[in-house]
Structure formats: C-alpha cells, structure tokens
Chain A
C-alpha cells in the first residue's frame, strides 16, 4: 500500500483550482480557433477572436478566464493500492478554499441554497470519488459556472420517445437557454441509468475529447441541429452555437429512458494532476 500525504493532496487541489481557472485546455483553444475560421462575418470572427484573446490574457496574468470561477467539481480517482488515512471530503475542501483564496478566484458558493450566505472560500466542493487500479491518485478539477449549469436539464423520457426524443430534448434545451449560457457551448449528454446517474454521466461526458464509438452519429446530429439555431458566439448570431457534443450511456430499466444534458460554456475548464 502507498500512503498518500494529506498536505500533498491539499496542495495539489489548490494548484489545480488556480490552473483550471487561468489556463484553458489546448483542446478547447483548438475548437475555438476552428470555429473562428468557420465563421462568415467579420463580427462573429471578431467575437471569437475576443474569446481567444481573453483566454490568452488569463494564461499570462492573475486574472481568471471568467469572473464566475465556478463550483469546484473535483473528481478523485483513487488507486486501490493507495492508503488515505484522513477525511477525503474535508481535505478536498481545505484544498479548494486554499486555491480560491490564494488564486484571487471568486467565491460563489453558499452555506445553504435558501439562506444565500456566501461561504467566502468557494466551499463546499462537488466531489466524485472512484476506485481504480494502481497506486496513484488522479485529481481532476473542473470549475463549472452557474449560468451554463442553470441551462442544463434532466428528463425521464419514455422508451417510445427513443433516439428522436433525445435529439429534440437536447436541441430544445439549447434553443431555450443556450444564448445565456455563454456559447459556443459544449454539450455533455447522459443517456440511461437512473435519475442521479444520468446527470453524472452528462457531467463526465464534458471531459471527453473524441467522438464516442457507439454514439458518434447522434453526437454529430445534435451538434449540427444546434448550429442551425443561429444563436452563435455570445448569443450574437452566426454558426458557432455548439463546438462539440459528447454522449455517455449506461444500462437502463425496461420502463425508462433517462436523458440529461449538461451545458458547458466556452470556458470549458479542467486541470488534471497525479499524486
């Protein structure tokens, strides 16, 4: 068994919170550059140019990519040969508080959904823990903005709704709320499982970078239909409403067809580290 040091995990989480909020992943930069090349008007190329300029500015200063530094979604993949003799959730929250405070990142989280008092250090984090093979811990920090999360949806379709029902549900979500979710968007789509599992699949789908083996056609159809809506960068029109759609699925009950879409703004942030 390999013992994981408490302070090492705190420092790694803090570092990744800051990195994720300042350095947009290369994959996302490439998608934005392609979208800019694909636009037909000077206004839309200029606006996508500003999105790229904003990312470059954040990479080279202490200004985060977006003032909404997000809910700190932390995914911890713990190797089965690791030994952690501390309260993992508590330690992750200490790391998040340290990162958001030391990195000049905005605190957006509240003590309680109804009392609306800010915790002032962006805790509590949203934590997903998985057991995997090996003797290492992989940490992924994915800051998620409130505006795009508000545009996200989950619905229990019926088996009769089928593939078309899924396409209509996702495109309708983008049509209704996409303009306020800071497009161009990435769509994480979950299909199957239970009500809580389908939403988790949608969130995890946002970390995918390649088309799915099983659902590539569905992903392409959703992206294409959304790009015909004319919402475009910042909601100011044009061809770039959705950069990519990623689907993850799970087995489901004979009576159900759960579907969820997690809408991601153009600041599609995440940072990975290994301990």
Chain B
C-alpha cells in the first residue's frame, strides 16, 4: 500500500500508478450524487453539468452547522449505483467514490472505461467533513440531501478498490 496525492483536473495517466489498496488523498473538486440524481442523469437524460473527467462521490451530506461549509459527509453504499455506472462512465466520469464492494460486472465496466473506484471510510462523516473547504449547490435542490453539490476538498482520503489493471 502506498499513498498517492491526486489533484484535479484529473489526468488519467496517473491511474497507471494506482493499485488496489493504495490510499489516495484528493485535493480539488468533487461532486456529490446519490441514487435519485443518478436516476435523473442516466434514465431521464438530464445531465446538469459537464461530467467529463469529473469525480463523483456517493454522498448525501447533513446540513451545515453554523461556521462550517457542510455537515457530516461520509460515503453511502456504492453497489446501489451499479445499475447506473456504465452510463455515468460513458458520460465521462473518471473516478467514483463510495463505500463497499462493486459487482464483478461493474468492476469490468470501470476497467473498460479507464476509470477507477475508490472507497472512503463509511461512518466517518464528521471526520470527512473537515476535509471539505467549500460547498455549493449545483443541481436538483428539490432532492434535499440527495441534491448535487460541488465540493472543494483538501487531502480527502479514499482507498483504491478497482484500479485500471485489465481483468484477465
């Protein structure tokens, strides 16, 4: 296991040195999206911003307490988003972050699209909130915690679960 610092914008050449089990510290911009936002984007075709080379974080934050940009913001279960993943990666998403394993079919979809999947530590939402420096609402405000937020993060930690090494 090695630690890799990753800064946005994403350069997919960097994926070649990332292996399953590596710790990645992300600085830059990431976007939140959960079940309903994925459904709107992939099934209804309503794509609210350019997804090319972006990082999507499966998360629905708690409201921001006074003096903070955002409330607790840990990852939600990734496998629920398996059904939407192929379309999201075709739209250009480069990295997805959530928690827990993906189906073997979804792992292959990541590899086929030169994209990676990282898992953050589930249930550490308060700690992860301290890595968020700024948050702004981007789309779907009617979804409440399931709306899409653009986050500016500093050294946001996540572990590589699916790398770009081809499956045999």
Contacts and interface: CB of A to CB of B under 8 A. Distances in A.
Contacts of A179: 100-101
Interface in B58-94: 59-66, 68, 71-74, 76-79
B125 A236 contact: no
Interface in B125-166: 125-127, 129-130, 143-146, 159
Contact of A66 (B63, B66, B68, B74): B74
A66 to B, nearest CB: 5
B99 interface: yes
Q: Summarize B's interface: helix, strand, loop or mixed.
A: loop
A206 interface: no
Nearest to B146: A118
B62 A64 contact: yes
A180 B72 contact: no
B99 A54 contact: no
Given A63-B126, A236-B159, A107 B144 contact: yes
B126 A54 contact: yes
Contact of A62 (B65, B122, B125, B146): B65
Interface string B13-44: 00000000000000000000000100000000
Contact of A61 (B1, B78, B126): B126
A265 B77 contact: no
B48 interface: no
A265 B122 contact: yes
Interface residues on A, range: 35 or more
A65 B144 contact: no
A24 B137 CA distance: 30
Nearest to B123: A182
Contacts of A146: 76
A170 B144 CA distance: 35
Q: Summarize A's interface: helix, strand, loop or mixed.
A: loop
A104 interface: yes
Contacts of A233: 121
A180 B79 contact: yes
Contacts of B145: 67, 106-108, 118
A82 interface: no
A131 interface: no
B64 A234 contact: no
A180 B78 contact: yes
A241 B122 CA distance: 13
Contact of B72 (A43, A53, A58, A107): A58
A267 B77 contact: no
A67 B124 CA distance: 9
Contact of A180 (B62, B77, B127): B77
Given A50-B124, A180-B79, A236-B159, A61 B99 contact: no
Given A65-B126, A147-B122, A106 B77 contact: no
Contacts of B66: 62
Interface of A: 43, 47, 50-51, 53-54, 57-58, 61-69, 104-108, 116, 118, 120, 146-147, 150, 179-182, 233-236, 265-267
Interface of B: 1, 36, 59-66, 68, 71-74, 76-79, 99-101, 119, 121-127, 129-130, 143-146, 159
Top 8 A-B pairs, shortest CB-CB distance: A180-B100, A62-B65, A182-B122, A63-B126, A67-B125, A67-B72, A182-B123, A106-B62
21 contacts: A43-B1, A51-B123, A54-B126, A58-B72, A61-B126, A64-B126, A65-B123, A68-B74, A104-B71, A106-B60, A106-B72, A107-B144, A107-B145, A108-B145, A118-B146, A146-B76, A182-B122, A234-B119, A235-B99, A235-B122, A266-B123
Given A64-B125, A65-B72, 19 more contacts: A50-B121, A50-B127, A63-B65, A63-B71, A64-B71, A64-B72, A66-B125, A67-B129, A68-B60, A69-B62, A106-B61, A118-B143, A147-B76, A147-B77, A179-B101, A182-B123, A233-B121, A235-B122, A265-B122
